[in-house]
Amino acid sequence: MPSPANPLERPAPGPITSQLARAQAKLDYLKGLNDEQREAVLTTEGPLLVLAGAGTGKTRVLTTRIAHILTERKARGSEILSVTFTNKAAREMKERIGKLVGSTVEGMPWLGTFHSIGARILRRHAELADLKSDFTILDTDDQIRLIKQLLDAENIDEKRWPARQFANMLDTWKNRGLLPKDVSPADSGSFANGRGTRLYADYQARLKVLNAADFGDLLLENIRIFREYPDVLAHYHRQFKYMLVDEYQDSNVAQYLWLRLLAQGKPASEANICVVGDDDQSIYGWRGAEVDNILRFEKDFPGAKVIKLERNYRSTSNILKAASTLIANNESRLGKTLQTDVGETGEKLTVTSVWDSEEEARQIGEEIEQYQRQGESLNSMAILVRASHQMRELEERFITLGLNYRVIGGPRFYERKEIRDAIAYLRVIANPADSLSFERIVNVPKRGLGDSTVQLLHNTARAANTNLVSATRMLLETEELKPKQRTTLRELLAQFDDWSARLQGLPHYELAEQVLDESGYTAMWQADKSPDSPGRLENLKELVRSMEEFETLGGFLEHISLVMDRDTVEAEDAVTIMTLHSAKGLEYDTVFLPGWEEGLFPSQRSMDELGRAGLEEERRLAYVGITRGKKRVRLSMAQNRRIRGLWQSALPSRFIDELPPEVVDVKDTGSGYGGYTYGGGAAGRFNFADPFESVYNTPGWQRAKAQQSSRKGGGPLTIEGELVARSVDIGSDRSPYETGQRVFHLKFGYGEISAIEGNKLTIDFDKAGRKKVLESFVSKA
DNA sequence: CGTAGGATGTTTTTT
DNA sequence: ACATCCTACG
């Protein structure tokens, strides 16, 4: 964002600040804004919809608006509700507001994600939801384990009705703001022969027993409380004088209802609610986001002012043109036209076709190194992938190259087993009713408490409608447990009592250390001989260290439930690798967009499940990807890719064809088996009919060409990925095959190897003629 | 009760 | 390819 260095590094205006000084400050922060932006900042009263295209200074408007409200003393920080979708966005806003107004950030307790604010409100009124204020927030994993227990208790075959599927249904219902009683019979019927609603109700009841809430509840319970207790809602009406919502196009029905309830303190036409969004960047439809929310804002809040931000300060006109042309293929949009303000045509976009994903990674690595030699920083480059499994190969390549990279949103720290175990201990200390956590660690490390014992605990808990810990206490009074297990459990509970007591007089991070020691958990990993156990011990230390940043154990646990991402340290120069979804809102000089292949991007699954809407969402994702680039956008596609262990050949993504040819260079190609030909777009310049007759430059192409030069005409070389690569006990670069050997191929039948190149074999098939195939497609005849 | 090894499902995206 | 779940055995 081209915001000039901000001159506002000054303390917040104190009571003695003069009118004049304030007027001056106002001038300062309004300075670099264009007319529309300024209007969006100054229109503080009444409903306002800001349609902000990519790179038009959306965050700047939001933060300046808050700064404006604060400096004008229209409201205090605690009276502004400001919701974002992701933690990253919330963090960034806090930072930028801090820069604008100085120290006031701590005074913005209601700036956060929907879920963190929902949790905050729910904790205050927990008793109205049959919870205690220290309730545990369940993640998907816990949720599924709980559902499994329920299915088990109901004698529902988990094979036929997978817990995961029910978890998804629950999510959908909760995202739509539906309580058990609101679920339609049709919806209910779609699981376990009509038992859906009952299970939902049982699940909710079980959550109360465990003193727990899932993600959906954080908002849904808010909504229920607001509806059932008008005095509570009235309190928040008084509290929130201004409401701001970021990325409104990503909000779902529950979030919409939540906002609408909170905005009801005034007549709709006077509500001080400002939503900012871009329908072209709506990419969360799959988890219940309703673009409709943004489309009907004017109906919900009559008289709402609508401001469009269309001046793009980020990308060159070539990039902008490519993105606009692409997104114009979508039917359902409000329609905005981005105008460049950068004033540079810039480089053309490039599309590179490579043989496989390995070569794609190599290609990207080379280019990055080349730019680096030209003095560009790694921080200014990013690789945006459709699916996280694309990351691995890139990482491997960068490791061999010694190229610094960072992965955003990859495997999460808090999802590691050892971390989750440690947290389970802490959760039980904080909330002894948390049966899921108790169950997780009751026999970790091994204490000789096996399935049958745990089953007994479960049965007792269910019969008494209570949690595992108190069920255990009950059992200890009886003879039902075998003596050995009885002693073990008694000791374990005594330990937990002891730890809970210690929490009063000890910093929680010291307690955590003692817990890990005394429970034998640390010792367990120390005794473990596997190569990753040192790393796990290191992670545990890191966990304890990170606890020091929090005031209380509760605060820490809240953080890890809601803020799953780690703070990314940007100190080092490194290339960023992340998914397109997590790239929204970011920008880089150079953006690499690998994997533009049919099936992967647009994702087959998305199209299967949502049809045209799915495709349009994928296209918006492509739009997001391209508009991340400021100066340079490089797309690529691999003709062959290994997905879940099997090779698949792919066609270029239709999105490539939708790019305007005049701003795209088709750099190196060699794509498109099967004679498939696209129309007039950029991909029109791929030589699909016979890719082996043009001049190409990539090493991969030349290799392919060397192998296949003799292939003429012949049928389309379509390969329906089938055989899983066999693990062969031969050095990695040596092929298990040799020339002259007879082999069998699922599609082409028997043949004889005529040449070997890496994992690619040229084979003279008895029936199909000479073909080049991947080694993993054939077996020895 | 615990373990090893095989069968199975899974992953597109995230709070 | 990977992780989790399941089953058979010690």
Tokens representing A426 are 């802490």
Residues 6 or more apart whose CB falls under 8 angstroms from that of A648 comprise A599, A640, A641, A642, A719, A721
CA-to-C1' span, A604 to C5 (A) = 28
Among all protein residues, pick the one whose CA is nearest to the C1' atom of C3. Answer: A417
pLDDT in tens, A623-652: 999 999 999 999 999 988 887 767 778 889
CA A558 to centroid of chain Cα atoms: 19
Residue A675 has pLDDT above 60, yes or no: no
Model confidence at A676: pLDDT above 70: no
For residue A411, the model assigns a pLDDT of 64
Degrees to nearest 5, angle at CA A413 with A407 and A415: 120
- The tokens describing A505, both together, are 């007089």
Residue A59 annotated in active site: yes
- Angle in degrees, CA A681, A682, A688, rounded to 5: 95
- How far apart are the C-alpha atoms of A125 and A725, rounded to whole Å? 56
* A59 annotated ligand-binding residue: yes
Which pLDDT does position A612 carry in this prediction?
A: 86
State in Å, rounded, how far the first CA of chain A is from the last one.
61
Query: Which of A139, A86, A89, A76 has its CA nearest to residue A114?
Result: A86
A447: nt with nearest C1' to CA = B1
| Residue with the two structure tokens 């930072």 | A95
Residue numbers 292-331 of A with CB closer than 7 A to any atom of strand C: none
Query: What pLDDT score was predicted for residue A15?
Result: 43
Could you say which of A36, A58, A393, A576 is catalytic?
A58
Nucleic acid strand C within 7 Å of A724 CB: yes
- Distance, Å, A166 CA → B10 C1': 16
Q: Choose between A528 and A135: higher pLDDT.
A: A135
- Residue A125's CB is within 10 A of a number of other CB atoms, namely 17
Question: What is the signed CA dihedral for A354, A358, A363, A368, rounded to 10 degrees?
Answer: 150
Average pLDDT for A168-179: 91
Return the pLDDT at A647.
79
A54 is in an annotated binding site: yes
Report for A417-426, A588-597, A647-656, A675-684: range of highest mean pLDDT: A588-597
Residue A607: half-sphere exposure toward Cβ, Cα within 13 Å: 11
Nucleotide nearest to A605 (CA to C1'): B12
A507 phi, psi to nearest 5 deg:
-60, 140
Q: Which A residues between 622 and 651 have a beta carbon under 7 A from any strand C atom?
A: 642, 644-645
Max intra-chain CA distance, chain A: 93
Which H or E run includes A405? Answer: strand A405-407
Cβ neighbours, 10 Å, residue A732: 6
Q: How confident is the model at residue A775 (pLDDT cuts 50, 70, 90)?
A: low
**Ramachandran area for residue A779 (φ above 0: left; ψ -120 to 50: alpha; else beta):** beta
Task: Tell me whether residue A281 is one of the annotated catalytic residues.
Answer: yes
pLDDT tier for residue A12 given thresholds of 50, 70 and 90: very low
pLDDT value at residue A773: 61
Q: Average pLDDT over chain A, rounded to whole?
A: 82
Percent of all residues in chain A with a pLDDT value above 90, rounded to a whole number: 45
- pLDDT above 90 for A736: no
CA of A457 to C1' of B9 (A): 29
Q: What is the pLDDT of residues A122-158, one digit of tens each?
A: 999 999 999 999 999 988 888 888 888 888 888 888 7
Global model pTM greater than 0.85: no
Which nucleotide across the nucleic acid strands is nearest to A163, CA versus C1'? B9
* CA A525 / C1′ B3 distance in Å: 17
Q: Are A269 and A301 in contact (CB under 8 A)?
A: yes
A57 is in an annotated binding site: yes
Per-residue pLDDT averaged across A731-742, rounded? 61
Q: Closest nucleotide (CA of A645 to C1')?
A: C1
pLDDT at A749 over 90: no
Q: Annotated binding residue at A52?
A: yes
> Stretch A285-298: mean pLDDT, rounded?
86
| Secondary structure in 3-state letters for A657-710 | HCCCHHHEEECCCCCCCCCCCCCCCHHHHCCCCCCCCCCCCCHHHHHHHHHHCC
- pLDDT over 50 (residue A544): yes
Query: What confidence tens digit (pLDDT) does each residue in A59-113 have?
Result: 999 999 999 999 888 999 899 999 998 888 888 898 888 888 876 556 789 999 9
Q: What pairing do the DSSP bridges indicate for beta strands A749-757 and A760-765?
A: antiparallel
pLDDT attached to residue A428 = 93
User: Cα-flanking dihedrals φ and ψ of residue A535, to 5°?
Assistant: -60, -40
pLDDT value, residue A778: 67
According to the per-residue pLDDT averaged within each range, which of A5-19, A332-346, A588-602 is highest?
A588-602
Highest-confidence segment of A47-61, A438-452, A748-762 = A47-61
pLDDT > 90? residue A254: yes
Q: Answer yes or no: A453 catalytic.
A: no
Q: How far is the CA of A164 from the C1' of B8 (A)?
A: 15
